[in-house]
Structure 1
Amino acid sequence: MESTRNQLIKLLEQNQDKYMSGQELSKQLNISRTAVWKHMNELKKDGYVIDAISNKGYQIKQLPQQKLSSNTLHWGLHTTWLGQELMHKDSISSTQTLGHQLAVKGAEHGTVIIADQQTGGKGRMDRRWESDNTKGIWMSIILKPKLLPHHAPQITLLAATVLADLIQEDIGITTAIKWPNDVLVNDKKVAGILTEMQAEQDQIKYMVLGIGFNVNQTSDMLPDHLQDIATSIKMESNQSWNQRELVQQLLHRFEDRYDQFIKTGFSTIKTSWESYGYKLGETVTISTFNQQRDVKLIGIEKDGALRVETLNGEREILYSAEIHW
């Protein structure tokens, strides 16, 4: 059920060219005028400039420029189900950890957890994700798809195409996707995806999809060991970006792509992913079962597995491998 605060934000957004009286807002939201006044004060704390005139009402005069909060993220968010329940934290160990806790307690499909910074951000294979700063997008999405567990990797690949489209189409920077979960710009990692789930043999109970996206970091903010392998869109474009707007664009794109996937299947996602596929057609070294060998990357299967060709021309399907790029 949509919160009263979210309903208020939508009413003010839809009527931002005029004043809305406290009585009118009270009636539409089914709350007292005192409650309306309290909600307005909370919006002011988030940086909204609100004009309040007796016998006339309230009108938003200016929106917060950069501040992230559940209030500012809902203003301008026109999704149907994704992010309607949204939790924002100034600082947290990991949005993934909180995502699991909320999912176990019955959080709704499409719940979003986002933090200004993470002190214990994590990536694939328990690697640390450097997110102890306020310059990136650190978020997790709770999903409850009616899919068999072996189809879960498709959601990771779907999310990668959403990020790639956002970077290439909305930001204007050429990008690539490195199997299975990294988004690259100029051969450096700009975003990563971590998908975790709880499932039974024949059904997914829930998934927590984590997204780490380097937005406004400068090179001096990256640790020494990441200088040659990581980047941000600010470093690549020489300009700063509005993180609130990027979060909303990401959520809009993800909801559309996810709904399409549920209706029509993985084929469109597969085509999109392969159009961004990093080093497809090239030979790389992989490690499987502690054994290294060279293979050519061919594409992905309909279930999201990696399709490769060995040096003697045999085709193989890999569900797990460490690729030495």
Structure 2
Amino acid sequence: MHLTSREKEIADVIRMEPLISQEELARRFGITRSSVAVHISNLMRKGIILGKGYVFNQQASAVIMGESYININVKDRDGRVSIDVKHGGSAFEMSRVLSNFGVNVKVITIVGNDKFGDEIINEYKKIDIDISNIYRHPEGHTSKKLLVNNVLQYKEGFSQEDYQKTFNSKEWVAMNCEWLVVEPHFHDNLPSRILEKASETPPFGCSFKNLKYPDEVPEVFKNFYLVALGVERTDDLDIYVEKGLDFVRKGLQNCIITDGSSTLVYITQHLVTDVSLLPNQKFDCQAGLPQLLAGTVYGLSCRYPLRQAVRIGIGSASVID
């Protein structure tokens, strides 16, 4: 559920030359006209082009507030040890999904003034993310997680105070976007004006959280536009659907609840809908919930109905490596 390199190339040319013919596109890229037609059909299906005549969907803008870190996973398989180092964090994963869909993304996060900080910034650049709001801490080291056989053993990172200062200094950026996506453990760091609808056109606030019964849904979610909740046990789905309904009555606009393995439920002010997940749509909520949220945000930014946006989100979550 993302734009291929060829689709991005064709979209870029059409933006510059909206009257270009399919024959000319085929000539420029050295492919057949039928191949061009397929790529354009895909761009229409993904919401980049609206209808005939190469009318482009207005590019949405999103700001993601969250953590970026180095993920070090040590695996021991029958005495053979391997070390896998990846760039991670919900901010990075959600940025990648939205950027692949052509959304204009800015990220507010913190990295250290070290080699790992350089690597993370370069990774953001590779996926066309605006890095101008990344704070490089002059003293702290870039956040890291150490796992052994996929089990977290050690974590180091920046303090909540560091994030509070950074988010406060970027309040204007967060207030002046269409979609504001906030990592769950940073809700308390949000400048109060953002979710109190202090401006005439506040951003659509979005977040997610994985829950294990009897965890409570954060009270701040009543002020959000879209929330995705991951439930550890299928047997607890009904409990959290009731909690989701209660939050929608309190003011939350859209709530998605899923176990990632069998069922997804989405709740609005007017309806509750169950979606059975097919075998190729299943995903691990711990890893895939941020991608589910990001894909749904993209669908809603294209003005798709929630049911269609949710299916885009499911597609984004179910293709995780």
Common fold, TM-score beyond 0.5? no
Q: Tell me the TM-score normalised to structure 1 length.
A: 0.31
Q: Tell me the TM-score normalised to structure 2 length.
A: 0.31
If you compute each CA radius of gyration, which structure gives the higher value, 1 or 2?
1
